[in-house]
Structure 1
Amino acid sequence: MNDTQVWVWLLPLVLLAIGLVTAGHALLHKRDPKAAFGWIALCIILPLAGPVLYYLFGINRVRTRAQKDYDSKLNRDSLTTICDPPGTSYRPLSTVGESLTQKGLSACTELELLENGEQLYPAMVQAINAAQHRILLASYIFDHNTSGLQLADALAAAVSRGVEVKVIVDGLGEMMSFPRRIGRALKSRNIEFTRFNPLTLIPPSLNINLRSHRKLLIIDGVLAFTGGQNIGDRHLAERADNPNRVLDMHFRLQGKIVDDLEWAFWKDWYYCTNTKPVQAFTGSNVNAADAQIWSRLILDGPNKHIDKLNNLMLGVISAARSRVFIMTPYFLPTFDIIGALIAAHLRGVNIQILLPGHNNIAAAHWAMQNTIRQLLEAGLDIRYQPAPFVHSKLFLVDDCYTLIGSANIDPRSLRLNYELGVELFSTEVNARVGAYYAQKAQQATRIKHQDLINRSLPTRLRDSLAWLFSPYL
């Protein structure tokens, strides 16, 4: 038997072995049985193409790389928290976050709602101008336009008077204003600046995952801004001539929670700059026992914090007794959240979800229309808000729980991005945010299940196809 004949006999066996090994990997590592079955079938039916496709698209390198790369250790033990503040009764809602983070609650002595860039940017500039010691700023998008340069000039003025200023911008988010990126403008103003996972050709690093979607501004360790707004003219929503205007909500906080937020910034800073902290982080605030607002930081990301926000929302929905109100720009929830929402509805909880009627990402809107069919069929109240695009992220449960932060309810936010959430326990805050939510809900149009069913076949096929790719939107 010559070499050619040997290979004729051996090659099918080798391909079959590769297919079986790949199928075994999928069986051991895939959490979704349908995904596991699909990859196993593909690897057995196509023993050459199947393993190649699985290697390219089926292996979750995002979590592996994140756990390997993001190793920024910063001691937080000195940041004391209180599990059950005196005179409060937030359980079982507060138990969920406590179990996920192994941390209690931090006092929040003041909270202000800041709607759109018209309210947010002047407040940020005013705080920057009053800073005396340090300014820490992190954003996903920091546009090189009027609003962005206004903040850059305020930061530069702070540097000139001796204030420590550090800025983190996501490497992909900065590209959103290409070719006029903000990094050069910041460096030219002598502002200490770094990119989170920058995109580079040499060495090659073009990964669109592992992005930091967090938004933070910390002033002197005593004042913090966080929420969903980026920095740029698009958030100037009152300008009718603004072609890409966006509605959004941000928050200004004071109290012990500022220490937690500053700790989160420094973790990202040490990671981005590949440096290590000289000493343990201690914070600048005290945990006032008589605070009227209590809060907890929830970090989420594809590293060890993965699924924190998904599990948090799942837990508090399951613990809800009267209402769950959700406002989000992208709604592609996991199956367990869909099940929790339907279960809550069946036990009498008022479930309402506000989505943008006009979305800046068409494919995300198409996929959402396919996703909400099951919820509408169960009788949930889902509404579309009128244009312009609404980027706000709010999550209210019962009369005392509010979740704010940077995360959307979609796979990119809950599985691929580094996100940040803040739990707020306060009937007064819940009422204030609830009043804003109710105003938006009144202006929104309720979606009818029959309207989705009556869409044309090409439209339904388009939406279903977009839904198949929802993990990558």
Structure 2
Amino acid sequence: MLEIALIILYILLALTLVIGLLINGVKPSKTLAWLLAIFTIPVGGILLYMMVGRNRRKKKLSRMREGILEVPPYSMSPALDKMHRKYKKLMTLVDSASHYPPTDENIVILLEDGRQTFHSIFEALENAQHYIYLQYYIFEEGELTDKLLTLFEEKKKNGVDIKMIYDGIGSYSLSNSYIKKLKAMGVNVFPFLPFRFGRFLSSLNYRNHRKIIVVDGEIAFTGGINISDRYFKGDPNLGRWHDMHLAVKGPAVAHMEHVFISDWFMVSEQKIEMRCSPENVPRYKEDTIVQVVPNGPDDVFPTIEQSYLSIINEASDYLYITNPYVIPSAELLKALQIASLSGVDVRLLVSEKSDSRLVDWTVRSYFDEFLKSGIRIYQFPHGFLHSKIIVSDDEVASVGTANIDVRSFEHNYEINALLYDPEIAKKLKENFIADCKESREVQYDTIAQRPVHQKLKEGLARVFAPLL
């Protein structure tokens, strides 16, 4: 009798969770994936759903952001007048969904890999006169964090205001002693949704994956690189870490500062005023048009996913994507296939090595569908390729923190920069082609003839793709 009662209780609980999925308007693919997990993994399926499946976007996270500053205004017409007609819709889409219009008269510097990135970052930090804002998903103690500690101590003595956000899960290894040293010298530091036993289930699924530095409202940085020695020392298992970062000067810096201030209010409940605006920062004759694209689980629209779809749909010549985690939604998969079948040169550059077997199997599970539609796939063999880049038609590029998966689109706080600049687009295209020449192109015959056990692993991983 006890066993029957427990089974009935389990079924009732499972049905209650499913009803919640339906009421919250979850995509059918995710609903089916959770149904499979709940009913095929006894107890574990429900626990997994409780940890990472429940949608609290309209509740806890939204309440934490109430009362933040409005996005600084900026006239969109100068940028629109200079751009090809086909990207006006993309600009308007992002502005309508996130309220960040494109800004012109910016300088954008491409920073390839860790050494170049940290050289530029520390140069900017050393020149700080007024304030430093920085947030990262991963702060990993080592040479970089020691150097930051020394630099922050010097800057605090000179009256520089320093505010720092780190993700509570991504930076789980950051020691209390390091944080105490920061606080002792006057650095304002807060974690994003730190691990706490009582809040474990409610916070695990939503992470702040952004990487932002703003210095004096004059220069900002974003991209895929975290604060970790692996970016210039390499990784024992994965080898050299390859990534792309951006240094930005001009009106776009104010929008990146606003994203930081929004996150600061969320973690600290402290309102701080904007110290710069797009109208009063320095402007540059290089004149790159930049549009900041933030996205988070409390947003009404998945703006980053929508921007990716827009770029794909507008591509007429080529579409080159570099990303280690290509686990597309059904909409993105179809858009990529349509582009390729329509004659667009669509290529994917992924890492041959991965930091997650499950994710690697899931990524590979899409190879068959990509290749059948004429999409070319290259696997980069020299270390771990971590860049998140899309470039198309020598006109537009996206560089930032977001992967091509549900987690980046719906669960993480991310930030990308859309770059409407032919010279930058051409440079990124050249880099992409050079990397492809060093990579192994995936052939359809090889995929079709892979062992059954490999197909089985990929198939099982694919089932859980909507949950990754």
Which TM-score band applies after superposition, normalised by the shorter structure?
0.7 to 0.9
**Structure 1 counterpart of 2:168:** 171
Task: Sort the Cα spacing of 1:284 and 1:193 in 2 relative to 1 into closer, same or farther, 3 A.
Answer: farther
> 1:60-109, CA deviations, whole angstroms, 9 ceiling, x for partnerless residues?
32434454344243333543132453762333223124223224311242
Does 2:71 align with 1:74?
A: no
Counterpart Cα distance in 1 of 2:443 and 2:8 = 55
Partners of 1:257 and 1:407 in 2: CA distance: 18
Quote the residue 1:456 is aligned against: 451
Q: Which amino acid aligns with 1:105?
A: P
Given the alignment of the two structures, is residue 63 of structure 1 paired with residue 63 of structure 2, yes or no? no
Shift of 1:141: 0.5
Partner of 2:417: 422
Q: Specify the code of the residue in structure 2 equivalent to 1:111.
A: V
Partners of 1:248 and 1:392 within 8 A in 2: yes
**Residue 367 in structure 1 maps to residue 343 in structure 2:** no
| Cα distance change of structure 1 residues 169 and 453 upon mapping to structure 2, 3 Å threshold | same
Letter in structure 2 aligned against 1:122? H
Determine the structure 1 residue equivalent to 2:151: 154
Matches within 5 A, 1:68-147: 68-76=62-70, 78-85=72-79, 88-102=82-96, 103-147=100-144
Paired residue secondary structure (1:168): strand
Is 1:267 the counterpart of 2:267 in the alignment?
no
Q: Supply the AA of the counterpart residue of 1:236.
A: F
1:7 maps to: none
Instruction: Indicate whether 1:220 and 2:216 are aligned.
Output: yes
Q: Which one of the candidate residues 331, 347, 352 is aligned to 1:352?
A: 347
Give deviations 1:6-65, integer Å, cap 9, x for gaps: xxxxx999999988877655544444345556878999x99x999978974896324344
CA, structure 1 residues 60+451, in 2 after alignment: closer, same or farther (shift >3 Å)?
Answer: same
Matches within 5 A, 1:439-454: 439-454=434-449
| Length-normalised TM-score, structure 2 | 0.87
* 3-state SS, counterpart of residue 99 of structure 1: helix
Q: Is the 8 A contact 1:86 1:289 kept in 2?
A: no
Q: Which moved more, 1:388-397 or 1:54-63?
A: 54-63
CA distance in 2, matches of 1:145, 1:116: 18
Q: 1:252 aligns with which of 243, 247, 254?
A: 247
1:169 partner letter:
Y
> What amino acid does structure 1 have at the position aligned with 2:120?
A
- Of stretches 397-406 and 67-76 in structure 1, the one that deviates more from structure 2 is 67-76
Return the offset for 1:280: 9.3
CA distance, structure 2, for counterparts of residue 52 and residue 242 of structure 1: 33
Q: Deviations over 1:387-406 (max 9, x none)?
A: 31111111112111011111
Whether the 8 Å CA contact 1:140–1:174 is kept in 2: the answer is yes
Larger radius of gyration: 1
Identity of aligned residues (%): 25
| Aligned residue identity for 2:126 | N
Query: C-alpha distance in 2, partners of 1:458/1:81?
Result: 56
Distance 1:387 1:253 in 2: 28
Q: Kindly tell me: are residues 155 and 245 of structure 1, through their superposed partners in 2, closer, same or farther at Cα, counting changes over 3 Å?
A: farther
What is the distance in 1 between the residues matched to 2:88 and 2:178? 40
Correspondence for 1:191 among 176, 181, 187: 187
> Could you tell me which residue of structure 2 aligns to residue 8 of structure 1?
none
Moved more, 92-101 or 460-469: 92-101
- Distance in 1 between residues matched to 2:52 and 2:152, nearest whole Å: 44
1:434 to 1:108, Cα distance in 2 relative to 1, 3 A: farther
Match of 1:468 among 446, 449, 463: 463
The total of aligned residue pairs comes to 461
Aligned amino acid, residue 363 of structure 1? L
**2:315 counterpart of 1:312:** no
For structure 1, the 5+ residue unaligned runs are 5-10
- Write out aligned runs for 1:292-441 (5 A): 292-441=287-436
Question: Could you tell me how far apart the structure 1 residues matched to 2:186 and 2:89 are?
Answer: 45
Provide the rounded CA distance (Å) in 1 between the counterparts of 2:58 and 2:304.
Answer: 19
The answer (yes or no) to whether the contact 2:71–2:258 under 8 Å persists in 1 is no
Identify the range of structure 1 (330-339 vs 96-105) with the bigger mean alpha-carbon deviation: 96-105
Once residues 24 and 212 of structure 1 are traced to their aligned partners in structure 2, the CA distance between those partners, rounded to angstroms, is 29
CA contact (8 A) 1:216 1:225 kept: yes
Change (3 A) 1:202 1:425: same
2:33/2:464 contact within 8 Å kept? no
- Bigger mean CA deviation after superposition, 198-207 or 127-136: 198-207
1:425, CA displacement in angstroms?
Answer: 0.4
Q: Cα 1:144–1:73, aligned 2, differ >3 Å: closer, same or farther?
A: same
